[in-house]
Amino acid sequence: MGAHAPPRMHIDNLRLENDRRLVSALLALSVLPFIWFIGLDLVVHADDWPRIQGPMASRALTLAVPTLGLMAIRRVRTRAAYSRVVLGIALAVAVMLLSLNLQQPYGSALPLRTPLMVLIVMYGALPNSFYRQVAAPLVFSAGNILERLYWLTDSGRGDLASDVAILLFVNLVGVTMVHRRLALEREVSVSWGREHLARDDAERALKELRTLRGIIRICSYCRKIHNEAGAWQQIEAYVRDHSHAEFSHGICPECVTEHFPNQKPAEVTD
């Protein structure tokens, strides 16, 4: 397990940093339109402050969610903390937008483009584990369907079936995308880990491979070798210490003839 931890930990850290940057950029960008809407309300309704007190409170709430989310996401350092924070941000956005819908007069018709845009962002720009990523858009979609069924009824009931079909289709596509993304991330992690381990094995093999190089000083008479420590060492011991070779002994035909003249070479070498 220890050999597998470093590569997996490394790629998880890279993915965490990329996800943090993506979510941070999204939250920073989402602050801008909220500020613009607040400024627009102040300009348009400058002479009717009591009328815009309620909408301004709602605007302030919508501005607080991405602002606090941005502060929280920039402080996370682990995948577990990131997962919790992103889930909290997504659910807060869903609840906030559903609450804003309920502030509309009964029977109002709200365009479907805003929920669709929110779903696209949740599925595409808030990467998380499978169940935590799909939870918020599913809650948001269910809330939109219920609001269209029981609150936005008078002028929107005729489009209810098509709205539900569109929301279901977008969620189906989003869930599929999340599942596929996580599958690809697992494949990348496995492939990257195998490559890292193969590289480590190759480097380890190169370190363990010891070769004899350079000029070796050897005694002209006893054939001992002058090693790095300054001592004279038997050639067998020297080669064994500097390579993976082992020795077994025999007698060549010339030595058999010289040292055992009365015996056949095969009898001695055997």
Whether the CB-CB separation of 28 and 73 falls below 8 Å is answered with: no
pLDDT in tens, the chain (270 residues): 444 445 566 778 888 999 999 999 999 888 887 777 677 666 666 666 666 666 677 777 778 888 899 999 989 989 999 999 999 999 999 998 888 888 777 777 778 888 999 999 999 999 999 999 999 999 999 999 998 888 876 444 457 788 889 999 999 999 999 999 999 988 888 888 788 888 888 877 766 555 666 677 888 888 888 887 888 988 888 887 777 777 777 788 888 787 777 776 555 555
0.85 surpassed by pTM: no
CB 31 within 8 A of CB 63: yes
Q: What is the residue extent of each domain of the chain?
A: 5-202, 225-269
Nearest to 66 by CA among 124, 111, 27, 29: 27
Please give the Cα distance from 55 to 104 (Å, whole number). Answer: 11
